[in-house]
Amino acid sequence: MPNISELSAAQIAYGVTCGDFTAVEVAQASLDAIEAREPEVQAFLEISGDLALAIAAKTDERRARCAPLGSLAGVPVAFKDNMQLVGTRTTCASRMLEHFDSPFTATCVQRLLDAGATPVGKTNMDEFAFGSSTESSAFHRTCNPWDTQRVPGGSSGGSAAAVAAGEVPIALGSDTGGSIRQPASFCGVVGMKPSYGVVSRYGVVAFGSSLDQVGPFGRCVSDVALTMNALVAGGRDPLDSTSQAMSAGFLDNLEQPVEGIRVGVITSLMEHEALSAEVRTALAEACAALEAQGARLVEVELRHMEAAIAAYYVIGPAEAFSNLARFDGVRYGFRAPDCATLAEQTARSRAYGFGAEAKRRQLLGAYLLASGVYDRYYYPAQQVRTLITNDYRDAFMRCDVLLLPAAPTTAFRFGEMSSPTQMYAQDLFTISNNIAGNAGVCVPIGLGVQSLMPIAAQLQGPAFKDHVLLRVARALERGMEEAGRMRPGVVAPAFARRGGVLA
């Protein structure tokens, strides 16, 4: 039997459906790979082995009865630990929720289970999704599978690392300001932030409710498209008031040529001083690869993009302060013992339960929403949001998708970003997409000449044009493969043959 690291999600589902191997065998292979690789990667906070094998056995029973199997039949999947799944804990990588058992299952998780996926565990993250390196997790740091001295990105670093290390073929993350796309870039996998509202947020612990979106990681674009089909297959979720209906035909036109597609290039970003030389060179090659397939490059501008970080770090902390106010040690979460008053209990519970970055963002949000401060910061930030949204509208009148950097550099070393402002700048090229609610996807385009670490290009498209965005992403993936820059489905070399063999 082949190594599980060499199988795509589509190949696994096909093999299980045809009887080439069983879902239980696949689940065990994934669990074996996790056991072999976790000491170095530490992508997971919880491994749900018993649950995975039980659900895989049900998939095999359905096949034995000739009952229909889903599009993800037997595919091992990992979920970021801010997504509820009955039978697991949902900790958000925080002491505040260290012992919190999921009381229900999130819609996005349930839809993958309905498609036949096997849940193998919950992945590490920055605490409550506050961060860009997975270093703010209260439990342990996750390492980049390409170089374990470097970060995997964040806040969905555990999900990206689990896919890059070959532990699972697909995983879910959440993206509030780049938390899927930046770790996808750092770990050399495909990561997609769908348009706001396409994937239900019900059952996902909120950070910024007007910015959050759930999306998939995979080692190739087709696996991401397959997962997107499962995520939207149930239609609009009535449990999420922002949910929108979208057709599930992400695979239908994936291989269609992109001849005539207009790809917008923002010259000022391609020449931005924050970009490293190796990232700039790789992006130029990505543009050439799309041009070679018939796409037409068009110069466009996003005039207010530089203001996106300032607007985000007003809107995001304000919404985080509102969303995290519920964690007071009364109904759920950590409760400090031996407190004489409710006020003392709340203060002590929050002081112990939250880490430094979570406290920093909540305090900032409390300040920004205070009387006399709100008008000076929050209202102007919302005005900037409108300007950024209008910039995208104007740009997409001239092009079909945008191509821009995913991150200014390749993955940095642990401890290298010493200040919060340095870390916040990691989201320079991703935040504006969340502010406008558009779709974005990162595609690996090679390894840096100096760092030998993965580099990705980010494609952004108009809201609810996610199908077109993935078609261009597949064309870029195909072009980079033809150029010999990146092979789709690649696992970090050190982990490509370690564990996870189907027996």
Q: Which residues are the active-site residues?
A: 80, 155, 179
Respond yes or no on whether the N-terminal peptide bond of residue 179 is cis (omega within 30° of 0).
no
Beta bridge partners of 83: 204
Cα 296 to Cα 93: distance, rounded to the nearest angstrom? 44
Cα 301 to Cα 281: distance, rounded to the nearest angstrom? 20
486 phi and psi, to 5 degrees?
A: -160, 135
**What region does 227 belong to: left with phi over 0, alpha with psi -120 to 50, or beta?**
alpha
Chain-centre distance for alpha carbon 170: 11
Other C-beta atoms lying within 10 Å of the C-beta of residue 397: 9
Q: Tell me the helices (H) and strands (E) count for the chain, helix number first.
A: 16, 11
Cα 398 to Cα 295: distance, rounded to the nearest angstrom? 13
Cα 191 to Cα 252: distance, rounded to the nearest angstrom? 19
Q: Report the alpha-carbon angle 210-213-215, nearest 5.
A: 175
Burial class (CB in 10 A: 0-12, 13-18, 19+), 11: middle
What sign has the CA pseudo-torsion 247, 214, 442, 12?
negative
